[in-house]
Copies of this chain bind each other. A is one copy, B any other.
Amino acid sequence: SVQKTDYSINTSSLLIAAFKVFQQELDTKHDKYERLVKLSRDITIESKRTIFLLHRVTSVPNVEEVLNEADVKLDAVRQKVGQIAEELRGEDLYQFHKAFTSGVQEYVEAVSFHHFIKHRTLISLEEINARLVFMRHEKMDTKVGAEVLWPGTCVLTFQVTHTDYLLGVADLTGELMRMCISSVGNGDMDTPFELSNFLREIHDGFSYIGNTGPYEVSKKLHTLRQSLSKVEDACYTLKVRGSEIPKHMLADVFSSRTALMDQDEGVP
């Protein structure tokens, strides 16, 4: 067979030399992308587990304990976010955004759920970002993009984007809905109304933003509306059921029920 002379062996070629540089540049980028994807998956899993843990607050007496345990878990997640920040040192965050956006959204969901349970307010983007500041000891020379505090130490930050924040909060509403239904199931008469108001505020916020936000947000609006309607229905049920008995009698009813169940406790 007739084979053409090869050009790639012409190692002196400027063109080939240039492409060898390109090869390295591309491989480096892809490798970084892969590492970020893996970090993102880890963050997703741990955040989800934190959310599961937090749902226990509706059934345990010691809420603080759960919150602390969750905070420890979240600290571990933040360490992973720190690793992302490390990877992004001196890079353009948006260049690799697709690799870790889903993990970050899940973290926002977890941390805002934690915050809501503790403070009954919506965590702000600033508050989230304030906890994503990492101290690093530099073994080698200081790199670009990291602020030098004193020799050998620097501060790394990670900035959650507005869109990731919004998407995380949109998912939060699903967890709030679950918490609301659980509260009703546990005989809690106040939390559902509180959650309903909070969820309604978030819903109104999202409908104020409407379709000016990113496409992914609009996609989640339907689920959000369903969650709200489930919560409103739950509050409605509490109200109509409660309407059958004068308000001042409720306390009696419940104290007797609690007593009733204390007796039952030994039964598996």
Residue of A2, A15, A258 with highest tally of chain B CB at under 10 A? A2
In contact, A188 and B59 (Cβ under 8 angstroms): no
Residue of B nearest to A42 (CB): B34
A85 within 8 A of B: no
Residue of A13, A61, A261 with highest tally of chain B CB at under 10 A? A61
Interchain CA distance A13-B45 in the complex, whole Å: 28
In contact, A2 and B59 (Cβ under 8 angstroms): no
Interface residue count on the A side (C-beta < 8 Å): 36
A249 within 8 A of B: no
Interchain CA distance A10-B59 in the complex, whole Å: 12
Q: Which residues of B contact A145 (CB under 8 A)?
A: none
A60 within 8 A of B: yes
In contact, A59 and B8 (Cβ under 8 angstroms): yes
A245 within 8 A of B: no
Interchain CA distance A42-B45 in the complex, whole Å: 20
Of the candidates B3, B38, B56, B60, the one whose C-beta lies within 8 Å of that of A61 is B3
How far apart are A18's CB and chain B's nearest CB, in angstroms? 11
A162 within 8 A of B: no
Copies in the complex: 2
- C-beta contact mask, A174-206 vs B, less than 8 Å → 1, else 0? 000000000000111111000000000000000
Interchain CA distance A265-B30 in the complex, whole Å: 34
Residue of A1, A191, A254 with highest tally of chain B CB at under 10 A? A1
Q: Which residues of B contact A8 (CB under 8 A)?
A: 56, 59-60
Q: Which residues of B contact A140 (CB under 8 A)?
A: none
In contact, B61 and A9 (Cβ under 8 angstroms): yes
A247 within 8 A of B: no
A92 within 8 A of B: no
How far apart are A81's CB and chain B's nearest CB, in angstroms? 18
11 contacts between A and B (CB under 8 A): A1-B190, A3-B61, A4-B186, A4-B188, A7-B59, A8-B56, A9-B61, A15-B268, A34-B45, A37-B41, A38-B41
